Amino acid sequence: MEQIRLYNTLTRKKEPFEPLEAGKAGIYSCGPTVYAYAHIGNMRAYVFADILRRIFDYAGYDVHHVMNITDVGHLTSDADEGEDKMEIGKRRENLDAWGLAEKYTEAFFDHAEKLNILKPHIVCKATDHIPEQIDMIRKLEAGGYTYVTDDGVYFDTAKFDRYGDMAKLDIEGLQSGRRIDDSGKKNKTDFALWKFSPEGSKRDMEWDSPWGKGFPGWHIECSAMSSKYLGEQFDIHTGGIDHIPVHHTNEIAQSECATGKAPFVKYWLHCEFLSMDDSVKMSKSKGDVFTVDTLIEKTYDPLALRYLYLTSHYRNPLKFSYHSLDAAAATLKKLMRQIAGLSKSAEENAQLSEKAQDYLRRFTTAICDDLNTAVALAELHAVMSDKDLSDAEKYALATKFDPVFGFGFADVQEEAQSDAPPEILDLVEKREAARHSKNWAEADRLRAAIAEKGYVVEDTPDGAKLVKAS
DSSP state of 341: T
CB atoms within 10 A of CB 212: 14
Q: Name the pLDDT band for 427 (thresholds 50, 70, 90).
A: confident
The whole-number pLDDT of residue 89 equals: 83
Whether the per-residue pLDDT at 72 is higher than 50: the answer is yes
Query: Considering just the CA atoms, what is the radius of gyration of the chain in Å?
Result: 27
In this structure, the strands spanning 214-216 and 191-196 are antiparallel
CB atoms within 10 A of CB 463: 16
What distance in Å separates the CA atoms of residue 238 and residue 29, rounded to the nearest whole number?
Answer: 5
Q: Name the pLDDT band for 152 (thresholds 50, 70, 90).
A: very high
Whether the per-residue pLDDT at 111 is higher than 90: the answer is yes
- For every residue of 282-336, DSSP letters joined together read --TTTT----HHHHHHTT--HHHHHHHHHTS-TTS-EEE-HHHHHHHHHHHHHHH
**CA 449 to centroid of chain Cα atoms:** 48
- 262-283 pLDDT, tens digit per residue, is 999 999 999 999 998 664 355 5
The whole-number pLDDT of residue 286 equals: 56
What distance in Å separates the CA atoms of residue 60 and residue 57, rounded to the nearest whole number?
Answer: 5
What distance in Å separates the CA atoms of residue 399 and residue 387, rounded to the nearest whole number?
Answer: 18
Average pLDDT over residues 228-244: 98
Q: Please report, as a single letter, which amino acid is at residue 268.
A: W
CB atoms within 10 A of CB 138: 17
Helix and strand element counts for the chain (H, E)? 16, 15
CB atoms within 10 A of CB 430: 16
463 vs 313, more confident: 313
Strand-pairing partners, residue 84, are: 75
CB atoms within 10 A of CB 366: 20
Average pLDDT over residues 20-24: 98
Instruction: Enumerate the domain spans of the chain.
Output: 5-147+156-174+218-271, 292-412, 420-468
Whether the per-residue pLDDT at 431 is higher than 90: the answer is no
The whole-number pLDDT of residue 279 equals: 46
Q: Which residues have a Cβ under 8 Å from the Cβ of 222 and sit 6 or more positions away?
A: 28, 30, 68, 247, 251
110 vs 432, more confident: 110
For the ranges 81-90, 173-182, 353-362, 400-409, the lowest mean pLDDT is seen at 173-182
**CA 252 to centroid of chain Cα atoms:** 22
Whether the per-residue pLDDT at 365 is higher than 70: the answer is yes
φ, ψ of residue 4 to 5 degrees: the values are -75, 135
Which residue, 274, 306, 414, is CA-closest to 54? 306
Domain 5-147+156-174+218-271 in CATH 3.40.50.620: yes
Angstrom CA distances, 330 to 113, 304, 334, 373, 433, stand at 21, 8, 6, 18, 37
Average pLDDT over residues 293-303: 93
For the ranges 9-23, 117-131, 281-295, the lowest mean pLDDT is seen at 281-295
The whole-number pLDDT of residue 238 equals: 99
The whole-number pLDDT of residue 278 equals: 64
Choosing among 1.20.120, 3.40.50, 1.10.357, 1.10.3210, the CATH entry for 292-412 is 1.20.120
Whether the per-residue pLDDT at 344 is higher than 60: the answer is no
Whether the per-residue pLDDT at 350 is higher than 70: the answer is no
CB 116 within 8 A of CB 309: no
- 161-220 pLDDT, tens digit per residue, is 999 999 998 877 766 555 544 558 999 999 999 999 988 888 889 999 999 999 999 999
For the ranges 41-45, 127-131, 263-267, 293-297, the lowest mean pLDDT is seen at 293-297
**Mean pLDDT of all residues belonging to the chain:** 89
Whether the per-residue pLDDT at 419 is higher than 90: the answer is no
The whole-number pLDDT of residue 294 equals: 92
Whether the per-residue pLDDT at 470 is higher than 50: the answer is no
